[in-house]
Amino acid sequence: MLNILEIKQYDVINGPGIRCSIWVAGCNNHCEGCWSKHTWNPNQGRPLKECIPEIKNYLNNPKVTGVSILGGDPFYHLFNGDYNDVVTLLMLCHSYNKPVWVWTGYTKEEIDKRLQELRMPNLLTAFVDVLIDGRFDITKKDMNLKWRGSSNQRIIELNK
């Protein structure tokens, strides 16, 4: 079960424009120097199903120009259990025709491989516009990078 730690109606830090940001619980990457260790426990927060009305309300707001999904790791459950809520969240956000950005410690290649193993359609190209991928690497930390913490992390535009 995917739990939500926080939903911010207005976020101007995590992606361009005014965005709704959704912070999910659960991460097993445990990167050294992670600034959000408080998000690692997948059993904290509120179940996604309880948060859906709030997310819909925020995404209906015309001032909100995009969605940012962060954590934790939004793809934690894709690799560690029930991934249905991940699909539900991505589909819901995508349905508002606002750019969906997702931050993950997994690489695009790891996600693609996992989706193939599960015989699932590619969630990335179907529901995600921009993927920021890769584990935070403290030896490559760069505070001047936009929307990422270390130079090994990539900003991948999936749906131009």
- Digit-coded pLDDT (tens) for 58-86: 999 999 999 999 999 999 999 987 889 99
Number of H helices, E strands in the chain: 5, 7
User: Is pTM beyond 0.75 here?
Assistant: yes
Query: What are the structural domain ranges in the chain?
Result: 3-157
Q: Are 65 and 18 a contacting pair, CB within 8 Å?
A: yes
The pLDDT, as a whole number, for residue 160 is 65
- Left if phi > 0, otherwise alpha if psi is -120 to 50, otherwise beta: which for 152? alpha
Three-state DSSP class for 57?
Answer: helix
Query: What 8-state DSSP symbol labels residue 17?
Result: S
- Digit-coded pLDDT (tens) for 108-150: 999 999 999 998 888 788 899 999 999 999 999 999 999 999 9
Written in H, E and C, the secondary structure of 77-113 is HHHCCCCHHHHHHHHHHHCCCCCEEEECCCCHHHHHH
Q: Are 66 and 15 a contacting pair, CB within 8 Å?
A: yes
